[in-house]
Structure 1
Amino acid sequence: MPPTPRLSIVVPTLNESDTIDALMHHLLALWGCGVEIVVVDGGSRDDTVARAAPIASRLIHSEPGRARQMNAGARASRGEHLLFLHADTRLPRRADRLVARALAGSRCWGRFNVRLEGRHPLLPLIAFAMNRRSRLTGIATGDQALFMTRRAFEAVGGFPVQPLMEDIEMSRRLKRLSAPACLGARVTSSGRRWDQAGAWATIRLMWRLRFRYWRGEAAEVLAREYRHVR
Structure 2
Amino acid sequence: MQTRVSIVIPTLNEANSLERTLRHLALLHPPAAEIIVVDGGSEDETVAIAEAVAVSGCMPPGTQLHLLETEQRGRSLQMNFGAEAATGDILCFLHADTWVPDDLVKVMSHTLEDAQIACGGFVCLLAGPQTTRWGISLHHYLKTYYAPLLFRPRLFFKGLRLLFGDQVMFCRRQDFWECGGFDPALPIMEDGDLCLKLVQKGRICMVNRVVQTSDRRVAHWGSLKATAIYSYIGFLWGLGVSATYLKKFYADIR
Same fold (TM over 0.5): yes
Matched, 1:141 2:164: yes
Q: Is the 8 A contact 2:144 2:162 kept in 1?
A: yes
Where does structure 2 lack aligned partners over 5 or more consecutive residues?
55-63, 149-160
Q: Which residue of 2 aligns with 1:114?
A: 124
Q: Within 5 A, what are the aligned runs for 1:59-98?
A: 59-62=67-70, 63-98=72-107
Q: What CA RMSD, in Å, does the superposition of the two structures yield over aligned residues? A: 2.3
Deviations 1:114-137 (A, max 9, x none): 111126867112212212331454
Structure 2 CA distance for aligned equivalents of residues 141 and 34 of structure 1: 22
Q: Which residue of 2 aligns with 1:58?
A: 66
- Say which SS state the counterpart of residue 16 (structure 1) adopts: coil
Structure 1 CA distance for aligned equivalents of residues 137 and 36 of structure 2: 27
Shift of 1:169: 0.9
Q: Which residue of 2 aligns with 1:24?
A: 22
TM-score in terms of structure 1 length? 0.91
TM-score in terms of structure 2 length? 0.83
Q: Which residue of 2 aligns with 1:35?
A: 33
Shift of 1:164: 0.9
Q: Is the 8 A contact 2:126 2:132 kept in 1?
A: no
Q: Is the 8 A contact 2:99 2:211 kept in 1?
A: yes
Cα separation, partners in 2 of 1:225 and 1:194, compared to 1, 3 Å: closer
Structure 1 CA distance for aligned equivalents of residues 171 and 143 of structure 2: 20
Aligned amino acid, residue 85 of structure 2: A
Q: Within 5 A, what are the aligned runs for 1:1-230?
A: 6-30=4-28, 33-53=31-51, 54-55=53-54, 57-62=65-70, 63-105=72-114, 106-118=116-128, 123-136=133-146, 137=148, 138-161=161-184, 162-227=186-251
Cα separation, partners in 2 of 1:5 and 1:179, compared to 1, 3 Å: closer
Identity %: 32
Where does structure 1 lack aligned partners over 5 or more consecutive residues?
none
- Say which SS state the counterpart of residue 249 (structure 2) adopts: helix
Aligned amino acid, residue 38 of structure 2: V
Cα separation, partners in 2 of 1:228 and 1:79, compared to 1, 3 Å: closer
Q: Is the 8 A contact 1:159 1:167 kept in 2?
A: yes
Structure 2 CA distance for aligned equivalents of residues 122 and 28 of structure 1: 25
Q: Is the 8 A contact 1:84 1:146 kept in 2?
A: yes
Q: Larger deviation: 81-90 or 43-52? A: 43-52
Shift of 1:228: 9.4
